[in-house]
Amino acid sequence: MALEPSRTAPTNNDGEARFEVLRHKVGLVVGPIMFGLILLAPMDGLSPEAHKLAAIIALVITFWVTEALPLAVTALLGPTLAVMLQVAPIGPAFAPMANPIVFLFIGSFILAQGLFVHRVNERIAYSVLSWKVIGARPTRILIAYGALAAVLSAWMSNTATAAMLVPIGLSLIAFMESESQIPRSYGTAMMLMTAYGCSRGGMATPVGTPPNLITLAMLDDLLDVRISFVEWMLLAMPATVVLMGIAFVYLNWIGRTGVKEIPGADAIIEKRKRALGSWKRGELNALIAFGVTVCLWVGPGLLALLLGREHHVVQSVLTSIPEAVAALTGAVLLFLLPISADQRSTITWKQAAQIDWGTILLFGGGLSLGALSASTGLALAVGEGITNFLPTDSVVPLTFAAALFTVVLSEAMSNTAATTIAIPIVISIAQAAGVDPVVPAVAAGLAASVAVVLPVSTPPNAIVYASGRVPIMQMIKYGLLMDVVAVVLVPAMVLVLM
């Protein structure tokens, strides 16, 4: 579950800091200019509401790209202006903020916070790294480290996963460099493994990263198409496995050490594991709440595979326990399961309230603009306009184009904001071209998680860059190949599996 940063990645020098300040200032000027120009320009083919909404969306996109305002504030600005300019009444404008997926976000974020507060993810990390089969071998440590990043990020915040793994990785790197003459490139590879593993692991489940949930919500809202938890996993898991396999080979080549074993590395990991002590009540409670939620997420989908989606039992379960209700059930369990007589809940509200509300607001604002684009006819008009310039109306090239479009957007801004912009456009283009929009939309949603060239794209990129072990030019150099591979493989696998 990716928690998007409210601002851009940390910068490591004054030049980058000045550039970011300039970018924000440019956005504050260019955004209102774009708004005014579109509002004043004649657009005979659009209704007055669609015309005004086009101006609002131009302003919002400019602010998102330049981060002139925090992303969540800009997301709220869109529907607010829509009401003020009479594009829609306040009810329809803000109704998407109460979409069930919003509550899936809230519940799953609180669950992840419970795991993080009680350091369950840290215990899992040291337990895996201490396996004898891994030992003190640099290559196996790197692979296990990447697999941990991917598995943990599939179920919890990839920001929290990266924030937890980076210090572990840095301490291992420092020990290895002090005990053996391993090249600096190994440290670079380990940090990049964090970013790649967290991003690609997040693709695997609906709750792995916000772009997945945004895609599912927009398919539901705009097309009345519902993809279950298990159906998404069956579609996305193969892409995650293939991309992680490529990352293992690629980063092992980049970080090759020429050393088979570094004595003492396994002892360091074992020492850190022992320092955590035995399992505590809070950890067990968090794991129980998480396990119950996963069962409720996966169970209905497995029933559907066994009995058929139209079976009356399956329909009853799907109606009674949708994904949002499952997530909220797990979150409530954290407040019901006591740790001791003094602490009557596993997590306090103060701890739970530390989840990234900004991402939730960004998601709701994006859904609002998507719904208004459809209801005013703007989305269809944009789709028809873009379709006129496309050389084909076949699903295959549109799917590849959708993935490429989203990746390019994700390199320039937060992948949550990029998905919010891209999915409605992709759907409208496909509809105007007479193509089933589900396939290109899913490809675009998955592709939002593969951008790894710049720190701004995802929180793991930003955290890894801030570690100081990955200079910007190396992040670009190594990330470009990974982007190219992913932008070919992801749409190809979606086309094969859907």
Is residue 441's pLDDT more than 90?
Answer: yes
Total domains present in the chain:
1
Q: How many CB atoms lie within 10 A of CB 355?
A: 22
Considering the domain boundaries, does residue 369 fall inside one?
Answer: no
User: What does each C-alpha distance from 112 to 148, 296, 354 come to in angstroms?
Assistant: 15, 16, 11
pLDDT band at residue 9 under the 50/70/90 scheme: very low
> Taking Cα atoms as reference points, which of 227, 204, 230 lies closest to residue 441?
227
Average of per-residue pLDDT across 384-389: 67
Tokens 């005990």 correspond to what residue? 179
Q: What is the mean pLDDT of residues 416-438?
A: 84
Least trusted range by pLDDT, from 89-93, 108-112, 149-153, 442-446? 108-112
289 Cβ contact list (under 8 Å, min separation 6): 111, 114, 330, 331, 333, 334, 337, 346
Structure-block tokens of residue 135 = 């030992």
Nearest-angstrom CA–CA distance, 470 and 455: 10
Token representation of residue 403: 């993935």
Give residue-wise pLDDT tens across range 292-340: 888 888 777 777 777 776 777 767 776 778 778 888 998 999 999 998 8
- pLDDT score of 356 more than 80: no
In a domain, 398, yes or no: no
Q: In sequence order, what are the residues at sequence separation of 6 or more whose Cβ sits closer than 8 angstroms to the Cβ of residue 221?
A: 96, 99, 367, 370, 371, 374
Q: Report how far apart, in Å, the C-alpha atoms of 207 and of each of 271, 292, 448 are.
A: 33, 15, 14
Q: Is the model more confident about 35 or about 166?
A: 35
Q: Is the pLDDT of residue 379 over 80?
A: no
**What's this model's pTM, rounded to 2 decimal places?**
0.73
pLDDT at 390 over 70: no
Distance CA 29, CA 31 (A): 6
Q: Which of 232-236, 261-265, 362-366, 417-421 has the lowest mean pLDDT?
A: 261-265
Which residue would you say has higher pLDDT here, 424 or 261? 424
Quote the pLDDT of residue 14: 65
Amino acid at 402: A
Q: What is the reported pLDDT for 8?
A: 39
In this prediction, residue 161 carries a pLDDT of: 79
Cβ–Cβ under 8 Å, residues 149 and 161: yes
CA-CA distances (angstroms) from residue 374 to 213, 360, 390, 464? 19, 21, 21, 38
Q: Residue 255 falls within a domain, yes or no?
A: yes
454 near 414, Cβ under 8 Å?
A: no
Residue 93 φ/ψ, nearest 5 degrees: -65, -40
Residue count of the chain: 498
Tens-place pLDDT, residues 242-264: 999 999 999 989 888 777 777 77
Q: Residues 171-180: what's their mean pLDDT?
A: 75
Q: Is residue 174 included in any domain, yes or no?
A: yes
Q: What percent of the chain has pLDDT over 90?
A: 17
Q: 215: burial class by Cβ within 10 Å (0-12, 13-18, 19+)?
A: buried
Whole-number average pLDDT of the chain? 82
- Least confident interval from 3-7, 351-355, 403-407, 439-443: 3-7
**What is the extent of the structural domain holding 288?**
101-216+225-352
The answer on pLDDT for 470 being more than 90 is no
C-alpha distances (whole Å) from 386 to each of 383, 421, 447, 476 are 5, 15, 21, 30
Would residue 441 count as lying in a domain?
no
Contact 152, 113 (CB under 8 A): no
Residue 383 lies in a domain: no
Q: Is residue 188 part of a domain?
A: yes
